[in-house]
Amino acid sequence: MTTEGQGPAPLPPGWYADPAGHPQLRYWTGSKWTERTRPDVTAWVHGPRLVDVPGVFAYGRDPKQAAAARVSREARQRALRYLLYAPLAAVILAVPASVILTAIGLHGVLLWIVFLIGVLAACGWAGGWIPVGRTLWEQYGDRLSALKGLTGASRRRQAAPEPKPDLWEDLRQAGHVAAATKLDAAADHGDLTDVDYVRVTRVIRQARGDEDRLATVAAEIEDAGPHAWLHTSGQRDLPARIGEHDLMTGQVRLGIASASAKNPATHAGQTFALDAEVLRTSLLVIGPPGSGKTRSFARPIVELLGLQTLTNMASVVVIDPRGDYALPGFFDVDIDPVDPDSQWGFDLYGGARNPAEAADRLAGALLPPGVEAEADAAAHNALDAALSWFREREGRYPTLRELIAELEQGGPRLLVERLRLLDRPALIELFDGHGGKKFSMREIDKPLRVRIALPEGAHPQAARILARLAVSQFVQTVSAPDVDRSIFKGLVVDDAGRFVDEYVVQGLQRARAANAGLILLAQSMREFPEDLRATVFANTGCKAVFAGIDPQDAAYIADFWGKQWVPETTVTTGQENTTRTGTITGPPERRRSVQSMGRNAKRPGQLLALTGGSSVAQQRSVSTRPVERYVWSPSEIINEIPTGHALVSLATADGFRTPPVLVDLRG
């Protein structure tokens, strides 16, 4: 490779191996290097991966280190403790054991062999020697073998590495060599991205076992190469990435789990990551403004879902109240009511299949929280009747102003007043304008990236209605019986407490079964309606807490993570007892013990010397007992989460949960 000003014939622009030696490709403009990088797909596909624990970044993990992490510090200490107990137990039990073993017919050397085996087996079982020993052997076995002169392990290390597996083995085995060769050529020239590899591989695997379908797939590859089955946007990568991703496992790296003693041994010191599998259980993020929950936590998740959308495996909808997700070129549908250049509208009815469905979601979004049941039922019935009558008459749903006109003839006054909050020029253009370029929530059944900006500054009440409408339409769409469950659907909601109602909370559980998940971000649990807080907390499997939360939230979260049994050592110090003794040295007739001298000891005479001493006796006892303590107490959550860190617990759809992990998001 030539660099700027070096060499007579610089290479043409393209992707080449990073001159710094990093395992990635860097873009060469023809005259200089740029900051644009791309994974080296060949090295990335064959790189080491170990998927065993949720929340740990699989790519690049050493299996030996992972095995060591599975054996906790406490387990090693326990094994060592019982190793020291073994000789003591042998001494104490030798006499009674010899009597018992002699009674059953054992004598001599055999008796003591059986006795020692029994002691070692009991101590080994109680101390967990087998898993600890296995781990130590995996770490140091090669060194021990080398010391003993066993060269087998050395020969294995010196042997030539195994050939890398074929990237396109399915195609070659089916006889489609030309298609495989075309993809290999694209990989060799840096024209195959990680997004391309995952997208193409997914289609090939879906056709596995069906010769006709696989032949069609091979023909498409021969025609389009790595461009086959492109996303509708035509993008093969995001405009920019701020996080590290492994699309083979669908993970995004968020930071490093700290080495805190409170972190589980399986995560301490490991690279922390999230994937769609844990997001299926939904995620609740609590943190004050400026804590980093948006840029350091939510943005990488949105980026992950955006990349999976480009592989045709996911859809993502982002509710953006403050413009934190306004990423140029990232979204396929960017809805911004106050942006005059926005080209997208929003379907007021979300592609509802019947008037009752449309009325249910629209009424839920329009009515304020805490409305009486009678008023709620009246609003639902009025909307259902108006939409049914208009659709029967016109063959379509009414526009916003047509709906207001219909309800003004006899609909509930509260409903009409709430609809009039949307009767603003920018919002009329949003709901009724933009011609045919109007987004319907039903469209997320195909891979799509959607951002809905809220007009908080200009129309705060209308912004809340729009957000609640979008969130409820999302839940309604993913809960439909005919939804495509092969595509993961994610919804990211900032300031979620203001936009979540009872229907959405109930939909959190339904979303899990429909291969969907909600990521709810809030400054405090108090933002959620009081009657829904417990349900929101229970129905979100994953939790993330940032520094600076208030005591009420800390107590709520500490109770959720619960308590554990820990040993508590108590040292008791008793009363001191002091004893003093001494003798007097003088003339013979005056010499006597000080202890025998009373009041009559004051006699005339010569005192030559007084000697003596004192002793102090103190009682001290040590006791250890198991006690229940918070995994993370409210005080620790408030005071011991550093800035730039998050305390995260994860859950999977099959019920596996991780303990809370303290993660350095800047690592």
What pLDDT digit, counting tens, does each position of 641-651 carry? 999 999 999 99
Q: What CA–CA distances, in Å, run from 104 to 107, 432, 657? A: 9, 95, 50
Mean pLDDT of all residues in 589-615: 47
| CA nearest neighbour of 632 among 534, 535, 545, 520 | 545
Q: What is the CA radius of gyration of the chain?
A: 36
186 and 142 in a single domain? The answer is no
pLDDT band at 21 (very low <50, low <70, confident <90, very high): low
- pLDDT for the residue 617: 60
Ramachandran bin of 76, using left for φ above 0, alpha for ψ from -120 to 50, beta for the remaining angles:
alpha
- Confidence at residue 575, expressed as pLDDT on a 0 to 100 scale: 60
Inside any domain, residue 98: yes
Sorting pLDDT into bands at 50, 70 and 90, what band is 601? very low
Q: Is the dihedral of CA 288, 290, 291, 293 positive or negative?
A: positive
Q: Residue 275 falls within a domain, yes or no?
A: no
Query: Quick one: pLDDT at residue 510?
Result: 86
Give the count of domains, the chain. 3
Question: Nearest-5° angle of CA 649, CA 652, CA 658?
Answer: 30
Can you tell me the mean pLDDT for 382-393? 93
557 half-sphere exposure, CB direction, 13 A CA radius: 32
Asked whether 388 and 405 are in contact (CB, 8 A), the reply is no
User: 544 in helix, strand or coil?
Assistant: strand
Residue 160 has pLDDT above 60, yes or no: no
Residue 351 has pLDDT above 60, yes or no: yes
The alpha carbon of residue 507 and the mean position of all alpha carbons in its chain are separated, in whole angstroms, by 21
Mean pLDDT of 6-10: 52
pLDDT of the residue at 651: 94
Same domain (yes/no): 123, 185: no
Q: Is residue 257 a part of any domain in this protein?
A: no
- Higher pLDDT pick, 623 / 549: 549
Give 206's contacts (C-beta < 8 A, 6+ positions apart). none
The residue type at 665: L
Report the alpha-carbon distance of residue 95 to residue 416 in Å, rounded.
Answer: 93
pLDDT in tens, 491-502: 999 999 989 888
> Is 18 within the bounds of a domain?
no
Which of 98, 133, 157 is a domain's end point? 157
What is the per-residue pLDDT across 162-193, written as a single tens digit (0 to 9) for each? 455 678 988 999 999 999 999 988 887 778 88
Q: Which two tokens stand for residue 512?
A: 């899990």
Helix (H, G, I), strand (E, B) or coil at 32: coil
Mean of pLDDT values over 392-412 = 91
Close Cβ partners of 333 (under 8 Å, ≥ 6 residues apart): 344, 439, 443, 448, 449, 450, 451
**Do 375 and 398 fall within a single domain?**
yes
Mean pLDDT of the chain: 84
For residue 275, what pLDDT is reported? Answer: 94
- From 177, 196, 227, give the residue that closes a domain: 227
For the ranges 6-15, 273-282, 422-431, 560-569, the lowest mean pLDDT is seen at 6-15
Q: What per-residue confidence (pLDDT) applies to 129?
A: 80
Is residue 187 in a domain?
A: yes
Which pLDDT band, with edges at 50, 70 and 90, does 9 fall under?
low
Min mean pLDDT across 34-48, 58-72, 225-239, 344-358 is at 58-72
Residue 89 has pLDDT above 90, yes or no: no
User: CA-to-CA distance for 394 and 396, rounded, in angstroms?
Assistant: 5
Beta-carbon contacts of 65 under 8 Å, excluding residues fewer than 6 positions away, are none
| Helical (H) or strand (E) element with 378 | helix 373-394
Q: For the residues 235-244, what does the mean pLDDT come to?
A: 91
Q: Please indicate, yes or no, if residue 554 is contained in any of the structural domains.
A: no
pLDDT at position 58 over 60: yes
Quick one: 212 and 182 in the same domain?
A: yes
Asked if pLDDT for residue 592 goes beyond 60, the answer is: no
Spatial CB neighbours of 300, under 8 Å, sequence gap ≥ 6: 242, 243, 252, 253, 254, 274
Same domain, residue pair 150 and 180: no
Q: Which domain covers residue 378, as residue numbers?
A: 352-434
pLDDT at 433: 76
Strands (E), 298-448: 314-320, 333-335, 345-346, 438-439
Tell me what pLDDT residue 149 has.
56
> Are residue 369 and residue 415 in the same domain, yes or no?
yes
Query: Which of helix, strand or coil describes residue 566?
Result: strand
More confident residue, 110 or 293: 293
Whether the pLDDT of residue 57 is over 60: the answer is yes
Q: Are strands 24-28 and 563-585 parallel, antiparallel or unpaired?
A: unpaired
Of 134, 157, 180, the one marking the end of a domain is: 157
Mean pLDDT of 253-278: 91
pLDDT at 629 over 80: yes
Residues 217 and 140 in one domain: no
Same structural domain, 151 and 75? yes
Q: Residue 145 has what pLDDT?
A: 62
Evaluate if residue 144 carries a pLDDT over 50. yes
User: Do residues 144 and 78 both lie within one domain?
Assistant: yes
In a shared domain, residues 124 and 173? no
- Residue length, the chain? 667
CB 350 within 8 A of CB 473: yes
* Strand-pair category, 14-17 with 24-28: antiparallel
Mean pLDDT of 115-129: 85
What SS3 state is found at 362?
helix
The span from the CA of 400 to the CA of 390, in Å, is 12
Coil vs helix vs strand at 499: coil
Question: Is residue 333 domain-resident?
Answer: no
Burial of 667 (0-12, 13-18, 19+ CB in 10 A): middle
- In this structure, the answer to whether residues 382 and 427 fall within a common structural domain is yes
**Residue linked to tokens 């009440």:** 461
pLDDT value of position 2:
46
What is the model's pTM? 0.78
Residues 89 and 133 in one domain: yes
Query: Percentage of the chain with pLDDT > 90?
Result: 45
Each residue of 465-523: pLDDT tens digit?
Answer: 999 999 999 999 999 888 999 999 999 999 999 898 888 888 888 888 899 999 999 99
Q: Is residue 335 part of a domain?
A: no
Per-residue pLDDT for 158 more than 70? Answer: no
